[in-house]
Amino acid sequence: MTTESGQDEQPTQALPARGAVRPGEGAPGGGAAGAEPAAGGIAAGAGEPAPGIVAATTDEPAAAPGEPGEPAAAPDEPGEPGEPGEPAASADTDGATANVPSLACPVCGALGPATDSFCEACGTPLRASAVPPAGGQASAAPAGPAAPATPATDPVGAQTPDDPGGAAGEAAPAPFGTPGSNPEGLAGASPFGTPGSAAGGHAVAYPVGDPAAAGAPPAPGAPTAAAAPAVGHDPTATLGPGVRECSRCGGTIASDGYCLECGERAALPRDHFRSAPAPWLGGVCDRGVVHTRNEDAMALAVSGGGAVLVVCDGVSSARDSDVASLAACEAAATELLAQLDRTPGPEREQQLLDAVARAAVTANTAVVATGGAAAHGAAQQGSAAGADAAEGADAAGADAALTGAATGGEDSPSCTYVAAVVEGPVVAVAWLGDSRAYWFPDAGTPVRLTNDHSWAAEMIALGMPRAEAEAARHAHAITRWLGADAPDLAAGTTLLEVADPGWLLLCSDGLWNYCSEPEPLAALVRQSVQEAQGDPTESAAALVRWANGQGGRDNVTAALARLGR
Amino acid sequence: MATFSAEVFSNQYVPEGATDVHAIVSVTASGSGSGAAGDYGATGAGAAEIIIFDSSGSMSGRNLQSAKYAASVAVDQIVDGTWFAIVAGSHVATRVFPYPNAPVQIVRMEPAARAEAKRAIERVTATGGTAMSSWLMLADQIFATVPAGVRKHAILLTDGKNESEPAGNLQRAIAAVQGHFQCDARGVGDRWIVEEVRQIATALLGTVDLIADPSGIPADFERLMRASMARTVNDAQLRVWAPQGAQLLFVRQVAPTLEDLTARRIVVNPLTGDYPTGAWGDEEREYHVAVRVPSRPLGAEQLVARVQVVVGGQVAASGLVKATWSADPSLTARISPEVAHYTGQAELASVIQEGLAAKAAGDEATATVKLGRAVQLAQQTGNDEATSRLRRVVEIDDPERGTVRLRREASRLDEMALDTGSTKTTRVRK
Ligand SMILES: [Zn+2]
Ligand SMILES: [Zn+2]
């Protein structure tokens, strides 16, 4: 049940109209985006700890036992070098998780300790399983093709003592073999092995059809050992603290500032912010898709059992409207919060209505002040004058407001206004422009609590047929706003008495342009609330995502309060 | 300690409705040989080298003499401590050093080993046929005995066709050893098949080249071995992420040589793939990444690709490819000069290869058109080396328009030089 007031003033044909046609207002983003830094690479370490190249220590084969290059180690135990690849397999199989990094099997993907030689799951030899350099194997066999049938990966086979090659190695325990028939007289004394009498005799031909027999470790066609990425599987591993959520898809924003799922750029703080002052009150203010700045603003606060909600939508054609809208929200919210803390008078409902309407005037002063500061700042740059310039900014703004001399004409910052004060069952709403409030009772008819100050709305109120009014070129142009050139600061007001539980929604046209009628909007809110499991901030985020999914042609703000609970 | 950096060249602004975004990502590695910890080159402990040279009957004479000398020169370049072995290849593969009866298949370089290896090389005589699969498989078997984490590289030299084994053996061998080691492949003279040798080098992340005269082998081997010794960063991956709903059209290395990496994708997660790039020294390589994304409203900006270098599981450098849909034609009409250049270079390589294939098949009309287009592209992209190689195969009437006539007297060697050189690209003139 609602009552309306504040609509007593009749609009005239000579309505002041602010802002161009209002969806699709402002220039397309491309031009402004050009000012942003162009695409460019970022060098390693820009923004994250510079990952250098892994130090040699882990790869240093000198640590491997039984390395074959050391003649000193070999002479008496040609069989010993066969062991090096193995220790991990026996010792660390269970406790691997403690210190040993894990390695994904390139074939089946199962994780195992990096020190494992074979995948526990499928048996594929792993990269870590360097085949032990073993004495006297394979190619030393006079039998030629037969010898390499011993898989090189089989350390037992490689060590077979009766292997003829092994015998040769034993006879001449030298790392290079012995040039037994060396014509240059190195004879058996040389540690380099024998060149062999016939090339054919020592040659090894490998039947390619059976690579396993030839000792090729992994199966052909299998992802190679080199390919097995040991770590870095988890893309979020690169994320620093303060993980943020993507405003478009809800994915995670990486440390490079873009979504890990959809590639959306992380919103700047001003471009996307949330407020969740109570479990039953929350909102999201977002840049949308097309605009390059977020000129919407929002301020939510609670005190005692009461709450304050303010949403302002900056006018794109005006300079610094993003600053203006935020200043308006904060000024209005501060004043309304103070009102909540005041002892209720006898006519409390009227008191709240007056307060929420009066807060628009306070907000207007704040908006004008931002324009004054901006104008003054520009003047200061021009004249390179006064050190007291900053202090004078407020005074200049106030002057401008008093004299009505708009600091920059069309350029002066301006914004819409919609605010609600909630105290007990009473909700007092005031507005200027086309930002809206809706009431969606769980049971009962959803209602719009506000009437836009737009050209179309005012023409309809004057008797123009709705279709004609809404088809007009300036249908969406707003007729009241906050700013130095504000034509009228008399806000529309509404009082709502909450009898049953429901949701109060305040939003900018960035949302309602895609869903204006109370019924479908109520359904949308219900769906969002369901998705968000009743959390008002998450529900608002879902509404914003939905609007962005519809094209996000404007900034989007949605603030929700659960009332009558 | 090596560091990587990545720089992205693309036009971020795309017109309304656009879906395809192209970018050149230039990756630079530096400091790979300077740090104590990262400097494998100083000790050689992190590297393994195998020199494989053709010892088939056809090599007898100057070719084998030069190959043996070249192998010795390469041995001189191998730093002490590096694991190494020498393989001679014919219809079978023979381990020349360590000697076949040695207790190990690969040893670490030290002065005595170097001297003995050279003696072993000297003993090799030319005999038999050519079955390159056996060469690769023996090298793979030897490399498999090296400790984990060691960077593995081979040089393969041949002078002939792979004629002593069934077709298909070589491809299977390549597939079996791929990812185990890198291999630079060289052909000497004019009797080898460019495509055969190129597939070895391409799959094994190496280079392919023609050495016209055997006297050029030693210098080439020296250069290859020195370059390999300088590549102290093992096993770097190019990691490419594209957003949900996007299609990665291709990933290509475009400099210093052209390699299509698209099919080498190793899935990291549904949005991310790794492309092996092998070992790195201090060098710059460039990649062309093309992504198709659903079009967004005017003004929308998004990331269309993350292109990263990953070493040892760590992201060492990252480049961001972005797109902004804009209505401003002065922004969207610009084509990135880097993208244009490498698109031209890629087409140049393919028209050269197609032109030569047409010529070999006797289709002179097609050959003339393709090689004419090649002349035009080489001119446009400032690839003077390609132009001079083309000039030996075609008579150029008008380089601007690509009007050419096939040279009757073009030698097989000239055509092979044009073919092997087709994937070498020039950098963008800055
Ligand atoms: Zn996202
Ligand atoms: Zn708006």
Hey, what domains does chain B have and what are their CATH numbers? 3-34+235-332 (2.60.40.3670), 47-230 (3.40.50.410), 338-423 (1.20.120.1690)
Pairwise CB contact (< 8 Å): B144 & A28: no
For residue B236, the model assigns a pLDDT of 92
E strand or H helix at A245, and its extent?
Answer: strand A244-245
| Of the partner residues B8, B40, B237, the one whose CB lies closest to the CB of residue A40 | B8
Comparing C-alpha atoms, which of A496, A503, A505 is closest to residue A435? A505
Question: Are A72 and A39 contained in the same domain?
Answer: no
Query: A96 — phi, psi (to 5°)?
Result: -60, -30
For residue A57, the model assigns a pLDDT of 33
Q: Tell me the CA–centroid distance for residue A293 and ligand 2, in Å.
A: 11
pLDDT over 90 (residue A531): yes
Please give the full DSSP string across A298-320, using - where no structure is assigned. EEEEEETTEEEEEEEEB-TTSTT
Answer yes or no: is A205 within a domain: no
Please say which residue of A267, A298, A326 terminates a domain. Answer: A267
| Of the partner residues B165, B243, B299, the one whose CB lies closest to the CB of residue A291 | B299
Q: Do residues A104 and A228 lie in contact, with contact meaning Cβ atoms separated by under 8 Å?
A: yes
pLDDT over 70 (residue B104): yes
Chain A nearest C-alpha distance from B410 (Å): 38
The type of residue at A146 is A
The type of residue at A32 is A
pLDDT over 60 (residue A143): no
For residue B46, the model assigns a pLDDT of 85
From CA B261, how far away is CA B340, in angstroms rounded?
19
Hey, is A350 helix, strand or coil? helix
A 95-114 residues with CB below 8 A of B? none
From CA B65, how far away is CA B50, in angstroms rounded?
19
Per-residue pLDDT tens digits for B219-239: 999 999 999 999 989 889 999
Answer yes or no: is A384 within a domain: yes
Tokens representing residue A340 in the block:
């909540």
For residue B23, the model assigns a pLDDT of 97
Q: Which ligand is nearest to the CA of A257?
A: 1
From CA A1, how far away is CA A444, in angstroms rounded?
10
Q: Do residues B106 and A61 lie in contact, with contact meaning Cβ atoms separated by under 8 Å?
A: no
Answer yes or no: is A196 within a domain: no
Answer yes or no: is A198 within a domain: no
For residue A43, the model assigns a pLDDT of 36
Hey, is A428 helix, strand or coil? strand
Question: Are A244 and A356 contained in the same domain?
Answer: no
HEC string for chain B: CCEEEEEEECCCEECCCCCEEEEEEEEEEECCCCCCCCCHHHHCCCEEEEEEEECCHHHCCHHHHHHHHHHHHHHHHCCCCCEEEEEEECCCEEEEECCCCCCCCCEECCHHHHHHHHHHHHHCCCCCCCCHHHHHHHHHHHHCCCCCCCEEEEEEEECCCCCCCCCCHHHHHHHHHCCCCEEEEEEECCCCCHHHHHHHHHHCCCCEEEECCHHHHHHHHHHHHHHHHHCCEEEEEEEEECCCCCEEEEEEEEECECEECHHHCEEEECCEEEEEEEEECCEEEEEEEEEECCCCCCCCEEEEEEEEEEECCEEEEEEEEEEEECCCHHHHCCCCHHHHHHHHHHHHHHHHHHHHHHHHCCCHHHHHHHHHHHHHHHHHCCCHHHHHHHHCCEEEEECCCCEEEECCCCCHHHHHHHHHHCCECCCCCC
pLDDT over 70 (residue A226): no
Answer yes or no: is A159 within a domain: no
For residue A384, the model assigns a pLDDT of 35
The 8 Å CB, 24+ separation contacts for A157-163 are A158/A82, A158/A131, A158/A132, A158/A134, A159/A79, A159/A82, A159/A134, A159/A135, A161/A79, A163/A136, A163/A137
Burial of B362 per CB tally in 10 Å (0-12, 13-18, 19+): exposed
Question: How large is the average pLDDT for residues B130-137?
Answer: 96
Question: Are A240 and A352 contained in the same domain?
Answer: no
E strand or H helix at A527, and its extent?
Answer: helix A518-531
Tokens representing residue B109 in the block:
């370089």
A377 touches chain B (CB under 8 A): no
- Chain A residues in contact with B90 by the CB 8 A cut-off are 203
Hey, is A146 helix, strand or coil? helix
Question: Are A409 and A515 contained in the same domain?
Answer: yes
Question: How large is the average pLDDT for residues B38-50?
Answer: 64
Average pLDDT in chain A: 65
For residue A175, the model assigns a pLDDT of 67
Question: Are A302 and A360 contained in the same domain?
Answer: yes
Residue indicated by tokens 């490689």 = A158
Strands B208-211 and B182-188: parallel
Q: How many domains does chain A have?
A: 2
Look up the domain containing A482 and give its range: 22-48+269-563
For residue A341, the model assigns a pLDDT of 82
Per-residue pLDDT tens digits for A12-33: 444 555 543 343 333 333 333 3
| Of the partner residues B12, B320, B327, the one whose CB lies closest to the CB of residue A42 | B320
Question: Are A246 and A300 contained in the same domain?
Answer: no
From CA A289, how far away is CA B324, in angstroms rounded?
11
Question: How large is the average pLDDT for residues A186-190?
Answer: 38
Count interface pairs A-B at CB distance under 8 A: 403
Answer yes or no: is A469 within a domain: yes
Tokens representing residue B262 in the block:
């698209």
Kindly report the CATH number assigned to the domain that includes residue A404. 3.60.40.10
Query: Residue A193 — very low, low, confident or very high, per pLDDT cuts 50/70/90?
Result: low
Query: Residue B243 — very low, low, confident or very high, per pLDDT cuts 50/70/90?
Result: very high
For residue A318, the model assigns a pLDDT of 76
CA torsion angle A524 A528 A533 A535 (round to 10):
-110
Pairwise CB contact (< 8 Å): B124 & A193: no
Average pLDDT in chain B: 92
Pairwise CB contact (< 8 Å): A199 & B169: no
Helices A348-383 & A389-403, crossing angle to 10 degrees? 120
A146 touches chain B (CB under 8 A): no
Please say which residue of A224, A243, A267 terminates a domain. Answer: A267
Task: Please count the other Cβ atoms lying within 10 Å of the Cβ belonging to residue B304.
Answer: 29
Query: Residue A139 — very low, low, confident or very high, per pLDDT cuts 50/70/90?
Result: very low
Chain B nearest C-alpha distance from A20 (Å): 19
Question: Are A452 and A491 contained in the same domain?
Answer: yes
For residue A73, the model assigns a pLDDT of 37
Question: Are A325 and A422 contained in the same domain?
Answer: yes
A181 touches chain B (CB under 8 A): no
Pairwise CB contact (< 8 Å): A68 & B298: no
- Chain A residues in contact with B110 by the CB 8 A cut-off are 69
Per-residue pLDDT tens digits for A396-451: 333 333 333 333 445 789 999 999 999 999 999 999 999 999 999 999 999 999 99
pLDDT over 50 (residue A72): no
Beta bridge partners of B51: B86, B155
Pairwise CB contact (< 8 Å): B276 & A58: no
Question: Are A279 and A318 contained in the same domain?
Answer: yes
Query: Which of A90-104, A498-512, B125-139 bottoms out in mean pLDDT, i.e. has the lowest?
Result: A90-104
Chain B nearest C-alpha distance from A463 (Å): 37
Helices A536-549 & A518-531, crossing angle to 10 degrees? 120
For residue B1, the model assigns a pLDDT of 66
For residue A247, the model assigns a pLDDT of 75
Question: How large is the average pLDDT for residues A111-133?
Answer: 40
Kindly give, in sequence order, each residue whose CB lies less than 8 Å from that of residue B101, ignoring residues fewer than 6 positions away. A136, A140, A165, A168, A169, A172, A177, A178, A180, A193, A194, A196, A202
Q: Which ligand is nearest to the CA of A557?
A: 2
Per-residue pLDDT tens digits for B361-403: 999 999 999 999 999 999 998 899 999 999 999 999 999 999 9
Q: Do residues A560 and A307 lie in contact, with contact meaning Cβ atoms separated by under 8 Å?
A: no
For residue B173, the model assigns a pLDDT of 97
Question: Are A237 and A337 contained in the same domain?
Answer: no
For residue B149, the model assigns a pLDDT of 84
Pairwise CB contact (< 8 Å): B266 & A223: yes
Question: How large is the average pLDDT for residues B190-208?
Answer: 93
Question: Are A369 and A512 contained in the same domain?
Answer: yes
Comparing C-alpha atoms, which of A473, A358, A492 is closest to residue A435? A492
Q: Nearest 5 degrees, angle CA B72-CA B75-CA B77?
A: 120
Answer yes or no: is A315 within a domain: yes
Strands A556-563 and A281-286: antiparallel
Q: Do residues B243 and A200 lie in contact, with contact meaning Cβ atoms separated by under 8 Å?
A: no
Buried b (16+ CB within 10 A) or exposed e, B54-81: bbbebbeeebbebbbbbbbbbbebbbeb
For residue A559, the model assigns a pLDDT of 98
From CA B348, how far away is CA B361, in angstroms rounded?
20
Percent of chain A with pLDDT over 90: 35
pLDDT over 60 (residue B72): yes
For residue A352, the model assigns a pLDDT of 94
Query: A409 — phi, psi (to 5°)?
Result: 55, -125
Answer yes or no: is A156 within a domain: no
Burial of B347 per CB tally in 10 Å (0-12, 13-18, 19+): middle
Q: Nearest-CA residue of chain A relative to B241?
A: A260
Q: Which ligand is nearest to the CA of A507?
A: 2
Residue indicated by tokens 């004495």 = A135
Per-residue pLDDT tens digits for B248-294: 999 999 999 999 999 999 999 999 999 999 999 999 999 999 999 99
For residue A115, the model assigns a pLDDT of 45
Chain B nearest C-alpha distance from A237 (Å): 10
For residue B341, the model assigns a pLDDT of 94
For residue B44, the model assigns a pLDDT of 55
- Between the CA of residue B183 and those of B50, B76, B98, B127, B218, what are the distances in Å? 9, 19, 20, 24, 17
- Between the CA of residue A422 and those of A304, A347, A361, B430, what are the distances in Å? 11, 15, 19, 65
Tokens representing residue B89 in the block:
């290849």
Question: Are A368 and A495 contained in the same domain?
Answer: yes
Buried b (16+ CB within 10 A) or exposed e, A386-423: eeebeebbeebbeebbeeeebbbeebbbbbbbbbbbbb
Question: How large is the average pLDDT for residues B333-343?
Answer: 93
